[in-house]
């Protein structure tokens, strides 16, 4: 298979969910063998989307270089990976990629409409010759084993009676665009209360996140949150979620974890030809796995 890039440039804009900063993003075609990179146009700094440039994994994946950073790169990088884009240059004029609807849908929808541009160079897959693992103190595990084609599987265990254990799979037989890309980010009601109270969800709204109500919430608590976001009629539905959004899939939260995993592992430098098995994945252990792969290749 040959490498692919975009047929033209695509523009997106909006607020970052964590910083509330407004950013304009342009995803451009890029030459063969250049991979994915983010360019802070306001600072004139290019940051390759590689694991060694990860500088923060608190609630999202942030990459940085020469004093410039870009946060929440995982959804856009996941979208480009799911579509099969080898090479792209992403221009951004602020510190965080817009959250849009909390998924990868906007990115894939616009790019998919035009198809991709095939390039002359052959794709160089990332292949390993022995099993690699990454773990953390929270019981998370990423295991990467040699395989003839890619396959991902995960178990997301949130310790939640509402969510339970959620499983998700991605392989060549599963369409990323319809099965993974639409899955939105999520948070727990009690965490959201804390984050709002401490000014840490400056760009969030009730249209870009699934809210899980794990513990009983009073009418006063729900009213206070609804007032913050400027909406009415919010309540807890029978499944334990706020009724601000309808789930696309029963395991949408688990599938969003797959969306994140695909984006984070792309920081290994390309398309994996391996089997990935993940238990309790998250940005920290995901990007650590990408670093392990990079070190193994060197």
Residues with catalytic roles: 283
Residues 6+ apart with CB under 8 A from 191: none
d(CA 109, CA 156): 27
Structure tokens at 42: 């306001």
Residue 257 token pair: 């974890």
Q: Is the distance from CB of 36 to CB of 87 less than 8 angstroms?
A: yes
Q: Which helix (H) or strand (E) holds 225?
A: helix 219-229
List, in order, residues 6 or more apart from 99 with CB less than 8 Å away: 14, 15, 16, 17, 72, 75, 185, 203, 204, 208
3-state helix, strand, coil split of the chain in percent (to 5) is: 25, 30, 45
79-90: string of b/e by CB count within 10 Å (b at 16+)? bbbbbebbbbbb
DSSP string computed for 252-285: HHHHHHHHHHHHHHGGGSS-B-EEEEEES--HHH
Number of Cβ within 10 Å of residue 26's Cβ equals 16
Q: Using CA atoms, how far apart are residues 128 and 116, in angstroms rounded to an integer?
A: 28
Q: What distances in angstroms separate CA 154 from CA 16, 49, 53, 94, 239, one per listed residue?
A: 27, 23, 25, 33, 23
Angle among Cα 286, 288, 293 to the nearest 5 degrees reads 100
């Amino acid at each position: 298979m040959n490498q692919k890039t975009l047929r033209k440039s695509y523009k997106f804009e909006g607020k970052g969910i964590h910083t509330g900063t407004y950013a304009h993003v342009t995803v451009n075609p890029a030459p063969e063998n250049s991979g994915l990179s983010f360019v802070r146009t306001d600072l004139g700094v290019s940051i390759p989307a590689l694991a060694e440039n990860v500088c923060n994994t608190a609630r999202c994946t942030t990459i940085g270089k020469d004093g410039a950073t870009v946060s929440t790169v995982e959804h856009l990088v996941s979208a480009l990976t799911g579509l099969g884009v080898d090479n792209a240059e992403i221009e951004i004029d602020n510190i965080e990629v817009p959250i849009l609807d909390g998924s990868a849908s906007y990115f894939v929808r616009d790019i998919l409409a035009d198809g991709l541009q095939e390039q002359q160079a052959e794709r160089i897959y990332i292949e390993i010759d022995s099993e690699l693992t990454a773990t953390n103190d929270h019981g998370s595990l990423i295991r990467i084993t040699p395989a003839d084609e890619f396959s991902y599987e995960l178990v997301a265990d949130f310790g939640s009676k509402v969510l339970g254990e959620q499983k998700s799979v991605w392989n060549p037989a599963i369409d990323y665009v319809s099965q993974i890309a639409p899955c939105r980010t999520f948070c727990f009601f009690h965490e959201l209360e804390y984050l709002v109270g401490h000014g840490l969800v400056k760009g969030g709204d009730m249209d870009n996140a699934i809210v899980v109500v794990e513990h009983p919430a009073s009418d006063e608590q729900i009213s206070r949150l609804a007032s913050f976001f400027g909406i009415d009629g919010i309540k807890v539905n029978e499944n334990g979620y706020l009724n601000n959004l309808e789930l696309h899939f029963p395991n949408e939260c688990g599938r969003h974890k797959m969306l994140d995993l695909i984006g984070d592992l792309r920081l290994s430098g390309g398309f994996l030809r391996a089997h990935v098995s993940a238990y309790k994945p998250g940005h920290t252990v995901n990007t650590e796995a990408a670093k392990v792969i990079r070190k193994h290749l060197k």
